[in-house]
Amino acid sequence: MGYYTNYTLTQVKNPIPDSWFAGYIKAHKDDMYGVDEDGDTTDACKWYEHNEAMQAFSKAFPTTVFKLHGEGEESGDLWEKYYYGGKLLFNAPVKMTFDQPDLSKIPSVTIEEAPVTLKAEPPEVTGRKFKKGL
């Protein structure tokens, strides 16, 4: 069955012309099948050899830094890998953080515990009718 991932390939430093980028992917489609000529995945796929393919791609353009972004089929499976000069430069699993609201403008309140007094007993349930408590 396998594990499916969506990929996005971008140039982050010293970009090559788009025609070179697309031309390499087209010429090496057997190895670069995880992305199209624009660097996107049209459908999620099983591209287990992406690391080797990306090292060869970055070796062909040794001055460019490439980023391969992956989104796996499981929730939260996000990662980015950077390639430069034929090598994996950096492997970064995504760390999710959530923005927090600014609570400094909400006034602080001290709540004191007070004894609770019941004025009446809760009603008893007897069939469909309620019997009032004292």
The pLDDT of residue 26 is 96
Residue 129, in any domain of the structure: no
Contacts of 134 by beta carbon, 8 Å cutoff, 6+ apart: 120, 121
The pLDDT of residue 2 is 86
The pLDDT of residue 103 is 83
**Residue that the structure tokens 């009446």 belong to:** 120
Please give the tally of structural domains in the chain.
1
**pTM reported for the whole predicted model:** 0.70
Find the domain containing 38 and state its range: 5-93
Residue 41, in any domain of the structure: yes
Distance in angstroms (rounded) separating the CA atoms of residues 88 and 66: 10
Residue 56, in any domain of the structure: yes
Could you say which residues of the chain have pLDDT below 50? none
Residue 82, in any domain of the structure: yes
Residue 98, in any domain of the structure: no
Closest CA to 4 of 71, 55, 95: 71
